[in-house]
Amino acid sequence: MRVGTLVLLCALVAVAWSKPVWKEKNRGYKNYRLVRLSPTTQDQIDFLKRLENTVQLGIDFWTPSDHPGTHNIDIAVPPKTYRTFIRLIEANKITYKVIQEDIQSLIDTETTSNNKAREDKIKSKACESQGNSNWKGKGKNKCKNGQDAVATFSNLATDSIVGTYARHGEINAWLDAVAAESNGLATVETIGQTYEGKDMKVLKIGEDGTKPAIWVDAGIHAREWIAPATLVYIIDKFLSEYNSLPELNKYTWYMLPVANPDGYEYSHTSDRLWRKTRSPQSWGCRGVDPNRNWDSHFGEAGTSTFPCSDIYPGTGPFSEKCTQNIRDFINEHKDRLKMYLSFHSYSELWLTPWGWGTEKPSDNAEMMRVANLGKTAVQGINGKSWTVGAPPDILYAASGGSYDWAKEKAGIKYAYTLELRPDGNASNGFVIPTSEILPSGKEVYAAVKKVASELI
């Protein structure tokens, strides 16, 4: 038995008395630390892979473990098990650094920024509706005509969600509203309901049935809030620019801003860092990783058979309602679909197939050409330098992913996963203020336009 394993076993006995951390409801993250590890040997990686399934520690891998030396591994650690965790890391001689002392303070900062962004939107809207006046601007409670800009959080107008972290119901209402006001340019199709009965609404932009098509989804991982917010921004731009830009109007676009509504809502109401779906599983745990739930090398690399794990792929391919609904819609339209894009966060990566292993598709050179054009377009907006490549080469292997299925099984040539802001060196990961939404939207919109103009 290796020293690392022995220390791990002893540590688990020591923490076994405490109730499992993963079952807490309405959980907060006070004094949870974010620890960045830099493993350099395969032994250290193997140890971290075992640790990933050790739920008693209550730790949360924000970036899963894989190759030594290729990327940082960020792990959220509860205060209760922090000392045990550090003992294990030190026993395995893994270099580490605490990059956040209190994850709850990150969440609080994000909440404040979102409340402020919503309040500003509401004040601006209130001034518009009160005698066509304009709001005086940030920090002001008056409209330019002197009237009060009354703001309450309960009345975020359906056309005012751009630049905020909106709830799923607000996003659905907004999709209905923008479609109704689009003079026939856009329509909403409900592609099915989730396990909890929430409507999954796709916005179709452009005429349906004849043109080649492009699919874009976001938020299949619940806690990656920047992804749906970025797609909402892009939809808003599409509605005003679709008719005038040939790279947009030569396609019909299908946009699904929240691909995992049950998980997304839960991340708003109960656990900001929830990742999975919300369907009941064995061991009293809930949820499946919906981006390990697709029928492409299901249950292989980057998954766990333990139902409480964040990378549990489910009992079989498409066990989840949300992935079934997307699969069925894509299968129905696959003959016209030229590109599949899925927005995640974080690390600033343009991921090419395959996610499950180092083998490459036969058209890899073309996949890389278009991906690199996307990267260049992103860089042209705010100077962000994304990394392009297949997950096993630059991040970590992950099987059963949606974009692998889109290319392998649905035959969609250009299938990519985009990991949005922040970059891999940031110390806030999934929890970023609303001030990042517009810059993210602008750079990803530029990239989407560029790649759409280059498909062959």
For Zn ion, the closer CB: 426 or 455: 426
What DSSP assignment string belongs to 285-307?
Answer: -B---TTS-SSSSTT-TT--S-T
Closest approach, Cβ 247 to Zn ion, in A, equals 27
Closest approach, Cβ 260 to Zn ion, in A, equals 10
**C-beta separation of 352 from 395 below 8 A:** no
Closest approach, Cβ 30 to Zn ion, in A, equals 25
Cite the DSSP H helix spans in 397-436.
402-408
For Zn ion, the closer CB: 127 or 226: 226
For Zn ion, the closer CB: 221 or 321: 221
Q: Which of residues 207-236 bind Zn ion (CB under 5 A)?
A: 221
For Zn ion, the closer CB: 4 or 314: 314
| Residues contacting Zn ion: total by CB under 5 A | 2
Tokens of 394: 């630059």
Rg (CA), the chain: 22
Cα separation, 88 vs 157, whole angstroms: 50
Closest approach, Cβ 342 to Zn ion, in A, equals 8
What does each C-alpha distance from 5 to 172, 308, 365, 386 come to in angstroms? 48, 21, 43, 37
Cα separation, 100 vs 108, whole angstroms: 13
For Zn ion, the closer CB: 237 or 344: 344
For Zn ion, the closer CB: 63 or 325: 63
Cα 23 to chain center, whole Å? 23
Q: Taking CB under 5 A as the rule, does residue 344 contact Zn ion?
A: yes
Q: Taking CB under 5 A as the rule, does residue 321 contact Zn ion?
A: no
Cα separation, 403 vs 355, whole angstroms: 8
Q: Which residues are catalytic?
A: 419
What does each C-alpha distance from 391 to 42, 103, 146, 268 come to in angstroms? 18, 27, 55, 29
For Zn ion, the closer CB: 254 or 396: 396
**C-beta separation of 325 from 197 below 8 A:** no
Closest approach, Cβ 343 to Zn ion, in A, equals 9
For Zn ion, the closer CB: 126 or 216: 216
Q: Which stretch binds Zn ion (CB under 5 A): 14-22, 194-202, 344-352, 405-413?
A: 344-352
Q: Taking CB under 5 A as the rule, does residue 123 contact Zn ion?
A: no
What DSSP assignment string belongs to 143-169?
Answer: BTTS-B----GGG--TT--TTS---HH
Closest approach, Cβ 203 to Zn ion, in A, equals 21
For Zn ion, the closer CB: 58 or 391: 391
Tokens of 41: 């040997």
Q: Which of residues 387-416 bind Zn ion (CB under 5 A)?
A: none
**C-beta separation of 444 from 226 below 8 A:** no
Question: Which single residue is written with the structure tokens 């979102």?
Answer: 114
Cα separation, 306 vs 309, whole angstroms: 6
State the sign of the Cα–Cα–Cα–Cα dihedral 92, 93, 99, 100: positive
What DSSP assignment string belongs to 329-364?
Answer: HHHHHTTTEEEEEEEEEEE-EEE-S-SSSS---TTH
Closest approach, Cβ 280 to Zn ion, in A, equals 22
Closest approach, Cβ 403 to Zn ion, in A, equals 11
Q: Which stretch binds Zn ion (CB under 5 A): 113-121, 131-139, 342-350, 371-379?
A: 342-350
Cα separation, 231 vs 252, whole angstroms: 16
Closest approach, Cβ 429 to Zn ion, in A, equals 11
Cα separation, 9 vs 7, whole angstroms: 5
Residue 34 main-chain phi, psi, to 5 deg = -105, 120
User: Which residues would be at the binding site for Zn ion (CB under 5 A)?
Assistant: 221, 344
